[in-house]
Chains A and B, each alone.
Chain A
């Protein structure tokens, strides 16, 4: 098995200092991209997308191209040998000879981890089923760092599907490491944060947790409002879904009493959980967040390839 290669499978494998270093490098690249335009010249990144995700794939490809590198890959398992029954271990062994770094998205949980055990090149987990999506969290971190002037001492409101949302779980676990003042959990009763995660926070961090059902109950105290989508398939019947869906749609009315310097984030794609009218509010930064995703991925690629 390949050893001594740094991968990004889970942010839990990275120290707080290493995460902060990545975020700061992302900010540095964002501020002077030209300095990094040739950092990855002659390097190749493979994008192994066993399930489609246009946004994440483009973000990674854009990051590598902006670093002067090249990309190759596929975005559908049907076009790869896996369709013929090849093991992930065999696939990645060969890819190791075609590219210098690989980005992997896979519907099966734990696949990037398995790949990393047989890879000769760094593997980046770009999402494995409902399990982890560490570069989304890095994106969120760079956004918070840039637009709130740092990662520490914030009151963070998380709204929507807090039960199944992997993005939210990962963000909570990571932000807890950066002395978050308070997490305000805003969700319907059916989609509250799992008890195990609440217990983990209480046992390991000195962070306050407040649970409310409606955005209006907590909007005034938030520094950050992180919105997520409520998915229809999470409900037993359509009636419940329709009833709740509208309650959790963010509009100008609901954010009227929010702080002037609050930021509104969303991992995207949004469906209808944020009204279009909110887009013109200065506090809505979810599209800038997508932009930040490119820069933090640039930072990650340069770090893993050791070309900084």
Chain B
């Protein structure tokens, strides 16, 4: 079985639904990272059957809102000196600014870039957001 060394300092993004790992890797622009980053795909998981994992060395900053939009089962482990010092579950954000674009082509946020589009969560189950400007319902897609 393939084994990857434990990181000493950094974060581990765990319980990523299998198939979403690479998408999150790209969305977080981890290819630009200066520290080592490991992307594991199709790792066995008791909870999910199969899962993806991302390990990022020497960083403690990650956009929890963005991860919440992608998959609410994701958990984040903060590692220091080889030990887990904190664990966080992502949450589906009630309000989102900038991460989603409104799907309504007639919405002002698609033609006037003065303000970032903002959305309010209307369905946690369907991950649906309502545009605060034109009321159009939009889903986040990675």
Binding site for B on A (CB under 8 A): 87-90, 106-111, 113-114, 117, 128-131
Contact = CB atoms under 8 A, between A and B. Distances in A.
Contact of B115 (A89, A106, A128): A89
Given A87-B114, A114-B112, A109 B104 contact: yes
B106 A109 contact: yes
B64 to A, nearest CB: 26
Nearest to A129: B106
A128 B133 CA distance: 10
A38 B108 CA distance: 37
Interface of B: 104, 106-109, 111-115, 131-136
A131 B112 contact: no
A238 to B, nearest CB: 25
B133 A110 contact: yes
Nearest to B131: A110
- Among A90, A106, A131, the most chain B Cβ lie within 10 Å of the Cβ of A131
A109 B108 contact: yes
Contacts, number: 52
Contacts of B135: 109, 131
A87 B114 CA distance: 6
Given A89-B114, A90-B114, A110-B131, 20 more contacts: A88-B114, A89-B112, A107-B106, A108-B106, A108-B111, A108-B112, A109-B133, A109-B134, A109-B135, A110-B107, A110-B108, A110-B133, A110-B134, A111-B112, A114-B108, A114-B115, A114-B133, A117-B115, A128-B134, A131-B134
A107 B112 CA distance: 13
Nearest to B136: A109
A87 B131 CA distance: 19
Enumerate the 6 nearest inter-chain pairs by beta-carbon distance, A residue then B residue, closest first. Answer: A110-B133, A109-B134, A87-B114, A110-B134, A108-B108, A110-B108
Best-surrounded residue of A87, A90, A110 (most CB of chain B within 10 A):
A110
B106 A130 contact: yes
A87 B112 CA distance: 6
A109 to B, nearest CB: 4
A47 to B, nearest CB: 19
Contacts of A88: 108, 112, 114
Contacts of A89: 112, 114-115
A200 to B, nearest CB: 12
Contacts of A110: 107-109, 131-134
Nearest to B114: A87
A106 B112 CA distance: 12
Contact of A113 (B104, B111, B113, B132): B132
A130 to B, nearest CB: 7
A210 B106 CA distance: 32
A106 B108 contact: yes
Nearest to A106: B108
A107 B107 CA distance: 9
23 contacts: A87-B112, A87-B113, A88-B108, A88-B112, A88-B114, A89-B114, A108-B111, A108-B112, A109-B106, A109-B134, A110-B107, A110-B108, A110-B109, A111-B112, A111-B133, A113-B132, A114-B109, A114-B112, A114-B133, A117-B115, A128-B134, A129-B106, A131-B135
A132 B114 CA distance: 22
Nearest to A12: B135
Contacts of A111: 108, 112, 133
Contacts of A114: 108-109, 112, 114-115, 133
Nearest to B137: A196
